[in-house]
Amino acid sequence: MADSENAVYVMMEKVTKAVQTIIAIVVVFATFILFYALLFKDINGVAKDIILFVLGCVSSNLTQIISYYFGSSKSSDDKSNTIHTLSVQQQVKKDDVTP
């Protein structure tokens, strides 16, 4: 039973990581596209104000993404995954010993 639970946990972790990575990539590309539009396209009036507002929001999210992937949050996440892996291995050893 522990093996199937561990397999489900590992699969969910992989899916979660993939979704997080995809969202991060989309935000990075959106930031660069908005910067490009603002610098090189002729945008005036209300549309320019909207782009500036959205660019500010997306840029703040970009800062959080960079902090996660290159900051202490990534190390903390890696540590949590290591602790979980070790606890699952310990549980499997207990299950193997118990008659």
User: Within 13 Å and on the Cβ side, how many CA atoms surround 77?
Assistant: 12
* Mean per-residue pLDDT over the chain, rounded: 83
SS3 99: coil
pLDDT band at 23, cuts 50/70/90?
very high
- Tens of pLDDT, residues 61-86: 998 888 888 877 767 777 877 887 77
Considering the entire predicted model, what is its pTM? 0.67
- Tens of pLDDT, residues 32-67: 999 999 899 988 889 999 999 999 999 999 988 888
